[in-house]
Amino acid sequence: MDKLRKMVEGEGNTFWSYLGCELVGADENEVCIALQAGPQHTNVMGIVHGGVLTSLMDQAMGMVAMGSRQMQSCVTTNLNVHFLSAMRQGALEVKARILHQAGRTITTEAEVRNGEGTLGCISTATFRVLHKQPSD
């Protein structure tokens, strides 16, 4: 958790901070992040934009993938999303877990729930662990 926390503390000008994410908890098998969804996160129908929800799940799954590999860099190679219930402004929580690891491939799953516990969407993703780059 400390390594993930240090990683996001330095994310001042990245998509993480642009979205307004907060790291709630983490270990090598699960990551929990939160977002206080505001008007900037909604679409013209007044619900949280699907791209925001997808980004949250991708972020959480990427973090758990990296955490499971001692912060080795990983990239998303496949992402599958199912939208189940409209999410509105307010507290959102994302939990991501490792499903499977083999070689340099990590399969994960995530879900987004609102403050009342309503399941808004679920996702699975596959990540590829990058080769370590030699030091310059």
Which has more pLDDT, 99 or 11? 99
1 residue type, one letter: M
Tokens of 122: 């679920």
Q: What is the pLDDT of residue 52?
A: 97
**Mean pLDDT on 90-113:** 97
In tens, the pLDDT along 37-88 reads 999 999 999 999 999 999 999 999 999 999 999 888 999 999 999 999 999 9
- Please give the pLDDT value at position 28: 78
pLDDT of 136: 41
The mean predicted confidence, pLDDT, of the chain is 91
Predicted pLDDT at 87: 98
Q: Edge-to-edge strand order for the sheet containing 30-37?
A: 21-26, 30-37, 90-102, 105-114, 119-129, 74-83
Task: For residue 89, give the DSSP letter.
Answer: S
The reported pTM is 0.90
